[in-house]
Structure 1
Amino acid sequence: MIKILHTADVHLDSPLRSLALRDTALHETVAAASRSAFVGLVDLAIAEQVAALLIAGDLFDGKERSARTGAFLMAELHRLGAAGIRVFYIKGNHDAENPITGTLDLPSNVHVFDARGGRAQLTDDIWIHGVSFADRHAPDSLLPRFKAPVAGAVNIAMLHSSLGGAAGHDVYAPCSVAELTGMGFDYWALGHIHKRQVHSERPWVVMPGIPQGRDIGEAGPKSATLLTIADGQVAVTEIATSVVEFLHADLDVTEARSDEALREMLKRRLTALRGQIAAPVGVIRLTLTGRPARHWQFLRDRDVWVEQAHELAGAVGDLRIDKLLFDLLPPETGAEASGAADELAAIMATIRAEPGFSTQALEEVETVLQDLPAALRARLIADEAARDAMVARLTRAGADLVLAQMKGADS
C-alpha cells in the first residue's frame, strides 16, 4: 500500500486582504497561517508515512522576492527528504512570476516539472506526470503536453487549471472534465480553484482547494487529499488542514426583548459556532437579523454591541469577530407615521430618491474608491450595478443610524 498527499494553492506568505482584526496576536497568527498550514501538511505527510507530496501549483503567492520564504521552504522540503518523502511540484500562474522558483537549488527529493511536460517514476508501478506554467498566463490547454500513461501502472497527472472557469478565478489552461477522464490517467491532481471539488471518481479528478483560507472570502474548513493506492486502485480521503477557519453566520434576534437577552443569545450562538470549527482558531463574521422590538436601541448602541461581541468571542476560546453586521428590520407599529422621528424618516427617504442627492452620493463613493488599490476596488465593485447598490446601501444605513439616535432615545 502506497500513500500520497495532494495539495495545491498554498500561497506562502499571501498578504491579508480584508480583515478587521484588532487583536495583534491574532493578526500575526492569520498572517502566518499559510506557512503554518504548510508545516501541518509536512507533519501530516511524515505521520502518514506517505511516499510523495504533490503540489499542484501556486506554492508561492506572487512576484515578491523573500529570502525568508525561501529559507522556510527549504527547511520544510529537507524535513520531507529526511523522512524519505519525495515532492512533485508543478508551477502555477503565481509561481511562474515568483523569482524564488527559479533561483532556489531545491533538495534532491524534489522534482519540478517544466513547461514542456514530463513524467517521473515513484515506484515500480506508480508514475507521476506534470506540466508547469511557463509564465503567468496560460490561455490554451496544456493537455497536449502530457505524455501517454504508462501501461500496466498507476498514472497520476498534475495540472494547474481553471477547467471550464470558476467565479473569482481567471481562466487558465482551460479544459473539460470529460477531456481529463478520457486521457487514461487514474488520478488528476488539480490546482488553481480554491474550493475543494471531486469532479470525477475512477478516474479521479480532484481539486483539493486551498489548504488555508486567507480571509473571510475564503470561509469554511480547508483540506488536502490523501491518496491510498493498493492493488492498482486509488482511494481518496479528505484531510482537514486549516490553522485558522473563517465563517459567515447569522443570528435572528427577533426575540431579544432586552439587552441581557441579546447578550445571552450572542453567547449561545458563538459557543455553538466554536463547536462547529475544527481549526485551532476561528474568525466569525456575524450578521444580526430579525425584527426585534428594541431595533432602534440595538442600532443606536451598535458600537457597544460590537465590543461585547468581541468580549464574548474571546471568552469562548480561540474565537474572534471579524465583523458584527446589523441587518435588522424595524418593528411593525401598524400606525401611520407620526412624530418628529417619523417625519424625518419620510424626509430622508424623499431626499435619497432625488437624482441630485444620488449623484452627489455617487461622487463621494467614487472619490473614496479611487484611493483604493485597483485589485481591492475590483473586489468591492464588480460593475456599475454593484456600485449603485453600495451607494443605496450606505445612504440607507446612514439614515437608519440617524433615526436610531432619535427613536432609541424616545423608546
Structure 2
Amino acid sequence: MNKLKFLHCSDIHLDMTFTTLGADTKRSSDRRQDLKEVVSCIVGLAKNEKVHMILICGDLYEHAYIRRSTINYVNELFKSIPDIKVIMIPGNHDPYASNSFYQNYSWADNVYILSPQNSFFCFKDINACVFGMGFENSNRIEPAIPQISINPEYFNILMLHGTVDMNFGKTVLNPVSSSSLAGSGMDYIALGHFHKKTSDIGGHGRVFNPGSPEPLGFDEEGEHGVFLCTLYMDAYGNRKRLEYEFVRTSKRQYYNLELDISGFNTDEQILEALKEQINNVPLTSLINICLKGFTENDFNPNIRYIEECLNERIFYIKLADATSPSYNVGEISHEPGLRGLFVRKMLKKIEEEKDDEVRARLKKSLDLGLKALEKGKID
C-alpha cells in the first residue's frame, strides 16, 4: 500500500461546562450539543473522504463531567465506520485513569486507545505504525513519548498531547521541541493540547496541531477544524511525501468587539450602534463586546437591558462596561467632600511624578476612583 489517508483532530472536550456563559443553562446545553455534533461532522467527513484512520490527540471529553450517554453517542458514531480505524490518546482533561471511560467501557472494535501500557499499534492492512502514550493523570510534566522502533516499509505516525516549542516554567504539560520530534524518524507527528491551529510547527514538514474542531471560548477566535492528510510512499518504500489541507468543522464562532460610546447618553443609542456593528456577524455566533470611551456623569448604560435586546438576534452576547465618566477634575478638586479630597491628592501625585508610565497609571487610577465613587463599583 503506497498511500495512507487520515483525519487528525483533537481537543473536542465533550460535556464541558461552558462556565463562560454564566448561569445561562440553555445556551450551555446547546454548546454541549454542538460538541457532539462536531464529532458527527468529523465521522461524516472521514466517511466521505474514505480515510483509513481518524487520529484523536487527547481531550476527547471532560473526565469530571462526561456522561455515559455522551460516550454511547460517540461510540455509536465510531461503530458506523467499521472500516476506519479510530485511534485515541488520553489528554490532561481525559487521562487514562483507573475510573476513566478509556479503561472501563466497551469501545467499538475499530477503536484503539494508546496508553502507557499499550503505546504502539501496527496495522498491516494499511501499512501503518502508530505510536503514543497520553496522560495517566492530569499533571504530567515530563515528555510522554514511548519507545519507538521505526519500520521503514510502513507509514510511521506519533500522536502526542502536549506543549511544543514553548516554555511556561515548571508547570508546563508534556514539554517537547519540534526539532526532537522531527528527528524521531516519524513521517507525521499529530499534536493536541493547544486549541488554535498550527501548521508545520518548526518548519520540519512533519509536526501539526489542528486545534479544537469547535471553538470553546472567547480566546479562540478564527476558524476551527481538522487536518485532512495523505502520506505517499514510492514503489521502493521510501521518499514519503505529505499532502494536507485544513477542513473547517466548527458550528459557531467567537468574536471580541469594542464600541466607543463617547457622546452617547441613552441605552437606545448604544443599542442601535451595536446592531449596526454586528449586522454581518453570523446569528450563531458568541460575541463579547467591550464598551469604551467617556460617558456623561449621570448616565450609566443598562448593560442587562442591552444584552437582553441583542440576545434576541444573536446566539450569545456579553457586554462589559469599561467606560469612564467625563469628569471635570478641575471643578471637582474644589469640592469640600470626599471626591474633592481624592481628586486633589491624585492630581498632586500626577504633577509630582516624573515617570510617564507611572503618570499614565495614576491618571487611570483617578478615572477608576471617580467611577467607583460615582457608581459604588467598577465593572
Looking at structure 2, the residues matched to 4 and 396 of structure 1 have their Cα atoms a distance apart, in angstroms, of 59
Of 278, 284, 300, which residue of structure 2 is paired with 1:281? 284
3-state DSSP class of the match of 1:189? strand
Residue 336 of structure 1 pairs with residue 330 of structure 2: yes
Looking at structure 2, the residues matched to 131 and 338 of structure 1 have their Cα atoms a distance apart, in angstroms, of 65
Residue 338 of structure 1 and its aligned partner are, at CA, apart by 4.5
Is the CA contact (8 Å cut-off) linking 1:310 and 1:320 kept in structure 2? no
Matched with 2:157 is: 156
Q: Assess, with a 3 A threshold, how the Cα gap between structure 1 residues 339 and 140 changes in structure 2: closer, same or farther.
A: closer
Matched with 2:44 is: 43
Residue 78 of structure 1 and its aligned partner are, at CA, apart by 0.9
Structure that is richer in helix per residue? 1
What percent identity do the matched residue pairs reach?
22
Q: Deviations over 1:179-198 (max 9, x none)?
A: 00111112110112223223
Residue 286 of structure 1 and its aligned partner are, at CA, apart by 0.4
Q: Assess, with a 3 A threshold, how the Cα gap between structure 1 residues 169 and 38 changes in structure 2: closer, same or farther.
A: farther
Looking at structure 1, the residues matched to 167 and 321 of structure 2 have their Cα atoms a distance apart, in angstroms, of 30
Counterpart mapping for 1:106-121 below 5 A = 106-116=107-117, 117-121=119-123
Q: Deviations over 1:236-270 (max 9, x none)?
A: 22222323333221122336476554332111112
Residue 399 of structure 1 pairs with residue 379 of structure 2: no
What runs of 5+ residues in structure 1 fail to find an aligned partner?
Answer: 354-390, 405-411
What runs of 5+ residues in structure 2 fail to find an aligned partner?
Answer: 234-239, 348-364
Q: Assess, with a 3 A threshold, how the Cα gap between structure 1 residues 339 and 162 changes in structure 2: closer, same or farther.
A: closer
Residue 223 of structure 1 pairs with residue 246 of structure 2: no
**Pairwise CA RMSD:** 3.5
Counterpart mapping for 1:201-216 below 5 A = 201-216=203-218
Is the CA contact (8 Å cut-off) linking 1:96 and 1:136 kept in structure 2? no
Looking at structure 2, the residues matched to 3 and 352 of structure 1 have their Cα atoms a distance apart, in angstroms, of 66
Q: Assess, with a 3 A threshold, how the Cα gap between structure 1 residues 297 and 187 changes in structure 2: closer, same or farther.
A: farther
3-state DSSP class of the match of 1:10? coil
Looking at structure 2, the residues matched to 341 and 270 of structure 1 have their Cα atoms a distance apart, in angstroms, of 43
Q: Assess, with a 3 A threshold, how the Cα gap between structure 1 residues 183 and 396 changes in structure 2: closer, same or farther.
A: farther
Matched with 1:314 is: 312
3-state DSSP class of the match of 2:322? strand
Matched with 2:88 is: 89
Q: Deviations over 1:354-375 (max 9, x none)?
A: xxxxxxxxxxxxxxxxxxxxxx
Is the CA contact (8 Å cut-off) linking 2:333 and 2:340 kept in structure 1? no
What is the count of residue pairs matched by the alignment?
A: 349
Letter in 2 for 1:156: I
TM-score (structure 1 length as normaliser): 0.73
Q: Assess, with a 3 A threshold, how the Cα gap between structure 1 residues 340 and 226 changes in structure 2: closer, same or farther.
A: farther
Letter in 2 for 1:285: N
Looking at structure 1, the residues matched to 252 and 170 of structure 2 have their Cα atoms a distance apart, in angstroms, of 22
Residue 29 of structure 1 pairs with residue 37 of structure 2: no
Looking at structure 2, the residues matched to 135 and 296 of structure 1 have their Cα atoms a distance apart, in angstroms, of 53
Q: Deviations over 1:326-348 (max 9, x none)?
A: 22233375x72149989553345
3-state DSSP class of the match of 2:231? strand
Residue 324 of structure 1 and its aligned partner are, at CA, apart by 0.8
Is the CA contact (8 Å cut-off) linking 2:324 and 2:367 kept in structure 1? no
Q: Which moved more, 1:263-272 or 1:192-201?
A: 192-201
Matched with 2:260 is: 252
Q: Which moved more, 1:116-125 or 1:153-162?
A: 116-125
Q: Assess, with a 3 A threshold, how the Cα gap between structure 1 residues 307 and 80 changes in structure 2: closer, same or farther.
A: farther
Matched with 1:327 is: 322
Q: Assess, with a 3 A threshold, how the Cα gap between structure 1 residues 131 and 250 changes in structure 2: closer, same or farther.
A: same
Matched with 2:192 is: 191
Looking at structure 2, the residues matched to 244 and 100 of structure 1 have their Cα atoms a distance apart, in angstroms, of 28
